[in-house]
Structure 1
Amino acid sequence: MNWDDLKIFRAVVKTGGLKKAADKLDMHHTSCARRLKMLENDLGTKLFNRLPSGYRLTEAGQRLTRSADIIYDEFNDIELDLTGKDARLEGDIRITLPIGFATHLLMPAIHEFMQLYPDVNLDINMTCRVRDLAARDADIAIRHVDNPPHSLAGKRVIQIYRSAYASHQYLKSHNPVNEPLDCHWLGWGDAENHLKWPQKKKFPSIPVRGNMYSDVLQLTAIQDHMGIASLPCFIGDVAPGIRRIPTAEAEPNDWIWVLVHRDMMSNARVRTFMNHIALAFEKHRDLLQGKAVF
C-alpha cells in the first residue's frame, strides 16, 4: 500500500468528490482517479460507490478511513518533528537553472541571499533539465516552462517575453522585412519547431541555419553578426551591440517557475530561497516582459 495513494483516498473522503480532492492536492483529476483505482486493486476491494452526487464510502472504505486517519496522524507527527529540526537556515541547497538566468538576471539576487544567510551553501548547476528534481539531483529548479510535471510543486512567477534580435552591423547590410532571403535565423532544435516562434511567424520567408542550444550561445553568435535570433527580452534588450529587428515586438512565451520536489516544500531554507528568488523576478518584471526603457 502506497502512502501517497492513501492521501488521495483521504482527500476524496474529506471533500466528497474526485475533482475537489484533485484541486486540494494540486493534481490532475485523472491522475487521482488512476491512483485511487490502483489502491482498490491492491486491496482487492471497492472503497467508494461512484454516484452522480459524489463519492460514497463502502463498508470497506469506512474501515480504511479509520486506519488512514491513524496513519496520517503518525506521519504528521513525524513530519512536524523533522521540520522543526530542519527549520534552521543552514546546510546545502542544490539549485539548477538555465545559464541565461544565471548570467544575465539572477546573480545579484543569489549574491544577496548568500550574504543574508552565510550558513547556507548554494550548489548551483546550470542546465535546462526539469528531470533533475525527479531524480533528486537538485532541490530547486528555476525553469521557463508552460506545464511542469505534476510530481513537482512551486511558484509560477512571471511570463517571459521574447523578441527577434540582430547586431547593428548585421542590420546595416541585411533587410529582414524587404529582403528576407538574404537573412537567416539561428536555429534551435527541429526546423519545424521554429515555426512555433511568434517572431518566426512574422518573418516566414527568412530561412533557418544551424542549431545553437543556448540563449547565451545565440547571443554571442548575433553579437558576432552571424544572423537573427529569438531571445528573451531580459537578455536581448540590454545586451550591447544588438537590437530588435524592424517591426519585431515583445511576444509572451513560457512562464517562469521556481520548482521543488513536493517532499522539499517543508524545508525552511528551500522555502526561504524560493521566496527570495520569486521576489527577484518580480523586481525585474518590466525587463522580463520587454517593457524596460533604456
Structure 2
Amino acid sequence: MDWDKLRIFHAVADAGSLTHAGDTLHLSQSAVSRQIRALEESLGTTLFHRHARGLILTEQGELLFDATRSMAKRLDAAAARIRDSEEEVYGELRVTTATGFGTLWLAPRLSKLYDKYPELKIDLMLEERVLDLPMREADVAIRMKEPSQADLIRKRLMTVRMRLYASEPYLEEHGTPQSMDDLAKHRLICQNTTSHQVSAGARLVQELMQHEIRSTLFVNNYFGVQQAVLNHLGIGLLPDYLSETDSRLTRVLPDVDSSEVPVFLAYPEELRHSKRIEVFRDFVISEIAESRKRAREDDAT
C-alpha cells in the first residue's frame, strides 16, 4: 500500500475536507482528490461519501482511518524518542491526571520544573477519564489507582486519604463538631457519590450521609470543594495533601478519614528512555519527598 497516499488519506479524514487537507499538506485540492481516487481504486472500495458540506467516511474508510490514526500515534512516539537528547530536555510532554490532583497539587509546583527546564512544553490534561497511554493519548499519567493497561511502567508515588476540613471563620461562627452526629448541624461539601472520584472518597461520603445531614453542597471536583470551604460555606471532604500546603484549612473530626488511596505514575514502555519522562518523574518524586519532610517537621513542632 502506498504510504504517501495513506498520509494524504489520513489528512483528509482528519480534516473532513479536501481543501483543508490540501492546505495542511501544501497540495492543491485537485492533487489531493486524485490521490484519494487512486487509493480507492487500489483498494477496490469507496472511502468517503461526498456531500455538499464536506466528506464523511464510509464504513471501510472508518476502518482505514483507525489504522492510520494508530500509525500516526506510533510515529509520534518514535519521533519523541528520537528527539529526546541525553543532554537536553525540551519539547512537548503530555501529562494527564485527575482534575483535583492536577489543579491543587501538581500545577502550583510546576514553576520549579520550568525554572530548571525552560524549553519544556507541558500539555496538562485534567480529566477523570483514563487516557490510553499505549495509544499515545498522553505521555505520562498520575492516577489515584494502579493502571490496568498493559505495556506500562508504573511507580507508586504515595498514598492519599480523604479527610474533613473547614475554615477557621466558619468554625468560629458555627462551632466545631465533636462527633459524627454533630455533622447534622453543618453543611457538608463533597462530591456526589455518583460522580467520578476515588472509591474510598465515595464510601466515606456514603458513611457521612447516614448522620442525617440536612444541608449539602455537591461539587464534581475537589478544586470546587476547596473553594467552597475557603469561602466558609461548610465542612468539606478533601484529600489530605492539601493540608500540607494550605494553612487556611483546619482539620475537623481527626479520627475520621477514608481508607488509603494509592497514587501511581505510569508511562508507556516505549518511552522508558525518554529524558522528558525521566525529569518529570524525578521532579514529582522529589516534590513528594519534600512535602513529607515538611509534614514531619510540622508534626515535631
TM, length-normalised to structure 1: 0.59
Distance, in Å, in 2 between the alignment partners of 1:264 and 1:289 is 35
1:215 equivalent in structure 2: 222
Per-residue deviation at 1:260? 1.2
1:153 equivalent in structure 2: 153
Instruction: Verify: 1:184 aligned to 2:187, yes or no.
Output: yes
SS state of the match for residue 131, structure 1?
coil
Per-residue deviation at 1:253? 2.5
SS state of the match for residue 128, structure 1?
coil
SS state of the match for residue 95, structure 1?
strand
1:117 equivalent in structure 2: 117
Q: Which amino acid aligns with 1:170?
A: Y
Q: Which amino acid aligns with 2:147?
A: P
Matches within 5 A, 1:85-104: 86-88=84-86, 89-104=89-104
Q: Which amino acid aligns with 1:258?
A: L
2:11 equivalent in structure 1: none
SS state of the match for residue 130, structure 1?
coil
Q: Which amino acid aligns with 1:235?
A: L
1:7 equivalent in structure 2: none
1:15 equivalent in structure 2: none
Q: Which amino acid aligns with 2:117?
A: Y
Comparing 187-196 with 127-136, which one deviates more in the overlay?
187-196
1:278 equivalent in structure 2: 285
Q: Which amino acid aligns with 2:183?
A: P
SS state of the match for residue 220, structure 2?
coil
Instruction: Verify: 1:173 aligned to 2:180, yes or no.
Output: no
5+ long unaligned stretches in structure 2: 1-76
Distance, in Å, in 2 between the alignment partners of 1:127 and 1:287 is 29
Percent identical pairs in the alignment equals 20
